[in-house]
Amino acid sequence: MMVLSHALVGAAVGEELNQPLLAFILMAFFHLAMDKIPHFWPKLKKWEAPFKVFDIGLCGLVLLYILTFQPPHYVSVFAGAFGGILVDVIFVGIPQVRKSKYGDWQDKRQIHKGSPWYLVTDLTAIIIGLTVWIR
């Protein structure tokens, strides 16, 4: 799934729980469950980098927004959002892990689909996350 999807669902969990440690831990595990849902990933290598830049850029803006404009629950919201993206930070963002058997495990367990119709999965997670988080 898109990093943005994980971050927004995590923000919603953090908002609801208002317990930073619990939100962080729950979202680190929930990330793995979310990845089992069929979702879009570009099959053409030329589209993979722009897709990642767009996704990570939007996620960065969300995290910045949380830290800047979200008192009083911003610690819990940020912890949930960061817990939601932590799996990708570790398994994709650290080259040594990405190239190891753990990186292969994370990649193989996901259900990537090349059809843009599978963006509906991510958009649904984004809408649910936004709806719960910002009400």
d(CA 131, CA 75): 19
CB 88 within 8 A of CB 98: no
Confidence of residue 134 (pLDDT cuts 50, 70, 90): confident
Evaluate if residue 135 carries a pLDDT over 80.
no
- pLDDT at residue 110 in the model: 85
- Express each pLDDT in 67-125 by its tens digit: 887 677 789 999 999 999 999 999 988 999 989 998 888 888 888 888 888 889 999 99
pLDDT per residue over 22-80, tens digit each? 999 999 999 999 999 988 888 778 888 898 899 899 989 988 888 887 677 789 999 99
Per DSSP, the three-state class of 40 is strand
Model pLDDT, residue 106: 86
Give the pLDDT score at 64: 87
Phi-psi domain of 18 (left: phi exceeds 0; alpha: psi -120 through 50; beta: other): left
Say what the pTM is: 0.88
Residue listed under structure tokens 């650290």 = 94
How does residue 20 score in pLDDT terms, banded at 50, 70 and 90? very high
